[in-house]
Copies of this chain bind each other. A is one copy, B any other.
Amino acid sequence: MDEKQLLMIPGPTMVPQSILLAGAGPMINHRGPEFKAALDECTAGLKRVFQTSGDVYILTSSGTGGLEAAVVNMLSPGDLVLSISIGVFGDRFATIAETYGAKVEKLDFPMGSAADPEKIRKRLAEDAKKQIKAVFITQNETSTGVMNDLSKIGPIVGEHGALLLVDGISSLVAMDCQMDKWRLDVVVAGSQKAFMIPPGLSFVAVGERAAAAMKQAKMPRFYFDLAQAQRYLVQGQTPWTPAVPQVFQLREGLRLLEKEGLRNCFARHARFARATREGVKALGLTLLAEESCASNAVTSVRNPEGIDGAAFRKQMREKYGVVLAGGQGVLKDAIFRIGHLGYVGEADIIATLALIGLCLKELGLKVDPAAGASAAIRALGS
């Protein structure tokens, strides 16, 4: 039983067999008609997922490459940006902008909390001279398992007039993201999250205002130049040789998603997240995130007193084949994280909670090992 794994991390996520095989076909010419057909279908499908009439570019890179593309195509050196951070990934956006010469003002909220829309409104209201050119935010902070409410924050930023750049890497498909309606200007996502496909692609959606801003932006860019991507997209191509297998996998993933229905998919993620939290609490463990803003994609749990987080995750992986994530940054040794996004079913949620219970008991925690699974089952049935 060496190989059987439950990959319960917040990406890369498990991949359905039909998607795995969609990437295993014979190689084709990336400048030929077969690729054009696949790219066109993917682009149309992504626009529905991002809920935008803007362009969506498919880049061969990790999500971080997509974030870099968002920054360097929208800004010029010296621009002031307001970076809203609730964890590690919020900071990444800021670091990229600083690297390319932007002036970054940070608006941090405590880890485990969401950004307070009113504090954002207040800061932007103070900016009477409109010096803030862009606002950065993550929709789902993967390092803490917290969702920001973009339906509130989007219109606030829109009123000020700054561009709103959204890290949606772990949120798209797992939760609602109404890009156009909520006035989000650029949204970045990654293939290896709720899209259920392997890593290798990032998606950058560019709204109307952002497309105009792109023409003024002076940060240097070549591989990630979206104007080039735009010139090729209309021909059904990408400027550079793309990760062809992942494009075919994306097509299959989008087909599966259309079959499930986007709203059903969001509801599934919310339901599994709730069941996971109920299971965790029933094991006597403490959630990191406030429940009002807890993520539909990933749940962060404090390592119980007296339990070594790394040893616990090692035993989970080696004995039970359940792969969990540790913490990142300052939370490295403080938490473990359960990813429940993408190709996850009820069985996976229940099994994960059951095996966490068993494993913690083996490591000496006083706990009914069935309590977590039982609570999860009840939550799923309620």
Contact surface of A with B, Cβ cutoff 8 Å: 3, 5, 7, 9, 11-15, 20-21, 23-30, 32, 60-65, 68, 95-96, 99-101, 190, 192, 198-200, 219-224, 239-246, 317, 323, 325
In the complex, the answer to whether A25 meets B29 with C-beta atoms within 8 Å is: no
- Which residue from B15, B27, B190 sits with its C-beta under 8 Å from A241? B190
Interface secondary structure of A, over-half rule: loop
Contact B244 A199 (CB under 8 A): yes
**Other-chain contact of A65, B11, B61, B317, B323 (Cβ < 8 Å):** B61
- Counting every copy of the chain, the complex holds 2
Min CB–CB distance A373 → chain B (angstroms): 23
User: Which residues of chain B come closer than 8 Å to A26, judged between CB atoms?
Assistant: 3, 5, 7, 14-15, 20
A318 to B221, CA, bound (A): 38
The answer to whether B15 touches A323, judged by C-beta atoms less than 8 angstroms apart, is: no
Task: Determine the distance from Cα of A240 to Cα of B12 in the docked complex, in whole angstroms.
Answer: 11
Query: Closest 7 CB pairs between A and B?
Result: A200-B243, A62-B240, A24-B24, A64-B240, A62-B241, A20-B24, A199-B241
Query: Can you offer 30 A-B residue contacts whose CB atoms are under 8 A?
Result: A7-B27, A9-B29, A15-B26, A20-B24, A20-B26, A21-B24, A23-B23, A23-B24, A23-B198, A24-B24, A29-B325, A32-B317, A60-B61, A60-B65, A60-B243, A61-B65, A62-B223, A63-B240, A64-B222, A64-B223, A68-B223, A95-B222, A96-B222, A99-B221, A192-B241, A198-B245, A200-B200, A200-B245, A223-B224, A245-B245
